[in-house]
């Protein structure tokens, strides 16, 4: 491992690497393209940061002056992209990194100026990065490594064409690392087309979903679901919790009820501006708010450190969404709780979703 990266880990008091971090930094994989199965919360951002160390720094311990980017990190949502940027900024700080981001919802002129000044690593969402390439405001000729983070999510969101365009514009001799919670046929096809003899990496921890999360299925009377949310939050007294709803209307309704009961609460739904979303997430991070009420789309890719509790105010529609929601807790070795509120008429649906996710939940009544 590069000294600069080892120093950064020491400063952050990292004592051991997670399974995915160990797997992708094996010496024999130093120059290989990788297709990695990794759940949200497995420490994969630091993992691909470490994996790229040798590729980006070569024989040096520090970066030279920042010019055309050496690495592109592509993520499905702006929250995830900005979160990845923050993680890589501290990891590569001792090496003198200059970071830039290209994400939808931000000022394109500011991004163009930052790219013009030079950056070693650019973190981007697919659509915005494609715009910059087409306008000639980013030079990819020096790129040595490309990471597709949450590749399955990007394909689900319809970014296939953008990704194919970006990968087609990057130098042929680059390294390409793909990280994906699942590897369906579409991901395997993408890997075959744009990676060279990719090595498949699956760690033991990822073969059993969510080892560090305890699942509870809590039964309530049909008219009592909203009271159950309040009682669960009070019962667990988690420093940080997220409550998932299926619609914006339900988010607004639950947020109002919790606020009326003196919970410090913020809402995340698609109708918020980027500034409002950033403000809500920052309130959770710095402790001004303890509960975040969100829709699935609004919560995609967000990372709230120290999140101990996930409450499913409404059941998700499928097992993938259940795993995605619950993966906000139990991250990087921490323990977490995931509570499904199950009304009598939805019991069969809950059983079906848990079975499809290969999860065993503890069944019981919601706290009174």
pLDDT in tens, 259-300: 999 999 999 887 777 778 888 888 988 889 999 999 987 676
CATH number of the domain enclosing 284: 3.40.50.300
DSSP state of 367: P
Share of the chain above pLDDT 70, in %: 95
Residue 37 confidence class, pLDDT cut points 50, 70, 90? confident
**Which residue range is the domain that position 300 belongs to?**
213-365
In 48-164, where do the E strands start and end?
71-74, 99-102, 121-124, 145-148
146 φ, ψ (degrees, to nearest 5): -125, 135
Both 229 and 182 in one domain: the answer is no
257 φ, ψ (degrees, to nearest 5): -60, -45
Both 238 and 94 in one domain: the answer is no
Residue 252 confidence class, pLDDT cut points 50, 70, 90? very high
Kindly report, residue by residue over 113-157, the tens digit of the pLDDT: 999 999 999 999 999 999 999 999 999 999 999 999 988 888 877
Task: List b or e across 195-226, with b for residues whose CB sees 16 or more CB atoms inside 10 angstroms.
Answer: beebeebebebbeebbeebebbbbbbeeeebe
Q: What is the pLDDT of residue 84?
A: 93
Q: How far is CA 84 from CA 77, 100, 105, 243, 346, in A?
A: 11, 11, 17, 23, 37
Given 175, 192, 207, the domain boundary residue is: 207
Helix (H, G, I), strand (E, B) or coil at 237: coil
Least confident stretch, 63-67, 168-172, 275-279: 275-279
Both 185 and 319 in one domain: the answer is no
Both 163 and 222 in one domain: the answer is no
Q: What total of structural domains would you count in the chain? A: 2
Q: What is the pLDDT of residue 301?
A: 65
Both 257 and 335 in one domain: the answer is yes
Residue 332 confidence class, pLDDT cut points 50, 70, 90? low
Q: What is the pLDDT of residue 333?
A: 66
């Amino acid at each position: 491992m590069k000294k600069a990266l080892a120093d950064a880990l020491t400063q952050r008091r990292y004592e051991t690497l997670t399974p995915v971090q160990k797997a992708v930094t094996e010496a024999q994989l130093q120059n290989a393209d990788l297709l990695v199965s990794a759940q949200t919360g497995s420490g994969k951002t630091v993992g691909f940061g470490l994996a790229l160390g040798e590729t980006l720094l070569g024989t040096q311990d520090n970066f030279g002056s920042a010019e055309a980017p050496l690495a592109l990190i592509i993520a499905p949502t702006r929250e995830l992209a900005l979160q990845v940027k923050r993680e890589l900024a501290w990891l590569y700080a001792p090496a003198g990194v200059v970071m830039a981001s290209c994400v939808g919802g931000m000022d394109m002129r500011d991004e163009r100026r930052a790219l013009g000044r030079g950056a070693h690593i650019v973190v981007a969402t697919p659509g915005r990065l494609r715009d910059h390439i087409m306008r000639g405001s980013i030079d990819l000729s020096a790129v040595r490594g490309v990471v597709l983070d949450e590749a399955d999510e990007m394909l689900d969101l319809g970014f296939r064409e953008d990704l194919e365009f970006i990968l087609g514009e990057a130098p042929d001799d680059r390294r390409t690392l793909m990280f994906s919670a699942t590897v369906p046929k579409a991901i395997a096809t993408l890997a075959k087309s744009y990676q060279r003899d990719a090595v498949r990496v699956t760690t033991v921890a990822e073969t059993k979903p969510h080892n560090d999360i305890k699942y509870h299925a809590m039964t309530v009377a049909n008219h009592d679901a909203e009271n159950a949310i309040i009682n669960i939050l009070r019962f667990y007294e988690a420093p940080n919790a997220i409550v998932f709803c299926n619609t914006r209307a339900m988010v607004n309704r639950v947020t109002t009820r919790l606020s009326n009961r003196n919970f410090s609460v913020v809402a995340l739904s698609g109708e918020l501006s980027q500034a409002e979303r950033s403000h809500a997430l920052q309130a959770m991070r710095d402790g001004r708010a303890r509960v975040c009420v969100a829709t699935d789309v609004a919560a995609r890719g967000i990372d709230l450190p120290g999140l101990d509790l996930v409450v499913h105010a409404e059941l998700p529609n499928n097992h993938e969404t259940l795993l995605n929601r619950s993966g906000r807790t139990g991250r990087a070795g921490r323990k977490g709780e995931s509570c499904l509120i199950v009304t009598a008429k939805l019991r069969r649906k809950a059983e079906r979703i848990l079975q499809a996710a290969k999860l065993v939940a503890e069944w019981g009544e919601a706290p009174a």
